[in-house]
Structure 1
């Protein structure tokens, strides 16, 4: 048994958080002792395993600001993670044999300086590529943070990433780090999707609406997720099909503490009104896992709109639930979605998306066949068993290297 402590900045309900929770569950299933230390955890906005005692969670540093007048989010995240690492080293009795860190690498120098414990760092994507550098003020602010990100990431004992796409971006971005990171694909815990659930569509879109085909979009309400593409493509499809009974459900992670979530949700609603789609589009904010799973099982096609997404767990969830996936042909979906077999990889245009959406609507048997192939692909390549085995080997290697 190995004692592993996870350090994560904000234990919410995003894809990064899902991976952290799955990694904790994977190591627990191998008999290891797991504890997560985070600077923020809201029981009403987090995965159930972090609330029901399945995974031990300690919150430290919530008193530190998350932003300064809505700005300096990265700097505040760095400070909060540094505090979390100081808390773990000096003020807790956790005494881990391995640290698992992700998203923010600033905690690594503290762990390496004051302990001899090996650090596994999971890089979802270089933060400096996600940040804006347009204005001279942004460049002044980001330059030291970007330098620190590269230097601190390089201090990890082992670095892993979520896809071969991200591995390539990592090497191109962090040129001073000579080791190529290992790829550890996120996985699905099939049990959570195998549970029975009722048809939740009527409760979501209204009992008075009879629909034949439902498209589903799942992503956080952030502008980089390109959610407007789904609405525009659906608008084109609606115009083409006329009176066809089709519907679009927009599901998104939503946190009212985040200004962008609030603003972008409002922008998308206005876009729906502009396309005269109010009766055919339904929005959901941060639904429960049960509701999301029921939607995946009862809709007909997933629309996945981010461009150059580093991985994307949602296409895997959809394929396991036997939905064909229409995604942008870049980033992680190139490694998860088989074009013309489990879905379609499209240009990031409303026209291309709408064309594939119409084809699946008019050929439901092909959509069903794609869904069947998708489930088999997930079982074969992205199983929780495979994820557990690979992560367990990584932890075992770290413990041996310490000795």
Structure 2
């Protein structure tokens, strides 16, 4: 039996966390013994599978700060993950053969401190250094050594996999000293059984008189460009008759953590924007929704609006397509690989008018949802099944332990 330990910074409810949980479940199904180690875990703010007693979650180092006076988030994240790795190696007594780590590569050289060399698989969702805006000289000065450390430590992994062809290209352009490092693409998957449940009632989330429900699912972060959904809805209003507009509604469902100031601030910004645009009666906001609520929303909505540009992969479009729900997404990044334009949804420029034009098609031709929905379901079954993901990941683990 192969023992695999997962190291992840914060076991919340984002796409990276979904990948880690699915990877752990996949390897467990292949007979591996798995544990997830993290610096933060809140059972009330996580995926339901993490509450399974057969999927051990170990949380250490949560007492360490996540920032210093609201700054130095990256430095604190690195320190927290190094602490987790040190605790695993020197104080836990846990036996392991392979470490699966993602997001923070600084823990990789710590793994090398073990007497017997352990193998490391690093999953690159996206280079961390590209997720930060360098708005000042001091910020660039602060990030310079962290960026170099990220590149150097990523190159120490025995195996590097990425979540899309798009990310693979970005990896090569960003980490120039790692040109010899081979990166395989391991697309995130869906655990279909999670979605194959009877949809629950919406409990008043959507007014009953609304026939066309557009759904945005993403964390309340500015880089997700959620305002685009609101602005597109306003543009759509001008394209429809009064009777048609009365049947349209938008649900903004987002990951929300009160510990994260940006989540709190951006949620308020979006609500203020909906009021400013005169859309308050046509928009519902939902924070930190449950898996049951997400499944119900995907089942009942007309279409999903996916607004981030250059998204590394984006699991939401895949979830939506599996639920036979078309997707309107920005024509860049991962959605170029997951969505078939004109077949399972529409790929658009990140402009309100472009999104509104695509949204209008579903209002004018309601039957389009069914055809695209079936095509989306077929695409997910062929390309993003958990079985294919599990087998590919298991083969990586087997090669590392040969």
Which bin holds the TM-score, normalised by the shorter protein?
over 0.9
- Whole-Å separation in 2 of the counterparts to 1:393 and 1:203: 46
Structure 1 consecutive aligned stretches of length 4 or more whose deviation exceeds 3 Å: none
| Deviation digits for residues 335-358 of structure 1 (CA, Å, limit 9, x no counterpart) | 000000000000010000000000
TM-score normalised by the chain length of structure 2: 0.97
Indicate the residue corresponding to 1:333 in structure 2.
Answer: 335
Report the CA distance between 1:113 and its aligned residue.
3.0
Indicate the residue corresponding to 2:129 in structure 1.
Answer: 128
Indicate the residue corresponding to 2:381 in structure 1.
Answer: 379
Report the CA distance between 1:95 and its aligned residue.
1.3
User: Which residue of 168, 174, 192 maps to 2:194?
Assistant: 192
Indicate the residue corresponding to 1:143 in structure 2.
Answer: 144
- Where does structure 1 lack aligned partners over 5 or more consecutive residues? none
Contact 1:305 1:327 survives alignment (8 Å): yes
Report the CA distance between 1:240 and its aligned residue.
2.0
Indicate the residue corresponding to 1:20 in structure 2.
Answer: 20
Indicate the residue corresponding to 1:309 in structure 2.
Answer: 311
TM-score normalised by the chain length of structure 1: 0.97
Report the CA distance between 1:179 and its aligned residue.
1.3
- Whole-Å separation in 2 of the counterparts to 1:54 and 1:379: 27
- Whole-Å separation in 2 of the counterparts to 1:79 and 1:140: 18
- Whole-Å separation in 1 of the counterparts to 2:133 and 2:225: 16
Secondary structure at 1:94's aligned position in 2?
coil
Contact 2:11 2:41 survives alignment (8 Å): yes
Secondary structure at 1:7's aligned position in 2?
strand
- Whole-Å separation in 2 of the counterparts to 1:361 and 1:190: 29
Indicate the residue corresponding to 2:109 in structure 1.
Answer: 109
Q: How does 1:2-401 map to 2 (within 5 A)?
A: 2-114=2-114, 115-177=116-178, 178-200=180-202, 202-206=203-207, 209-241=208-240, 242-244=242-244, 245-400=247-402
- Whole-Å separation in 1 of the counterparts to 2:162 and 2:94: 26
- Whole-Å separation in 1 of the counterparts to 2:52 and 2:393: 24
Secondary structure at 1:43's aligned position in 2?
coil
- Whole-Å separation in 1 of the counterparts to 2:201 and 2:5: 39
Secondary structure at 1:44's aligned position in 2?
coil
| Deviation digits for residues 235-272 of structure 1 (CA, Å, limit 9, x no counterpart) | 11123213321100000000011111111101100110
Report the CA distance between 1:198 and its aligned residue.
2.7
Which deviates more, 289-298 or 45-54?
45-54
RMSD: 0.9
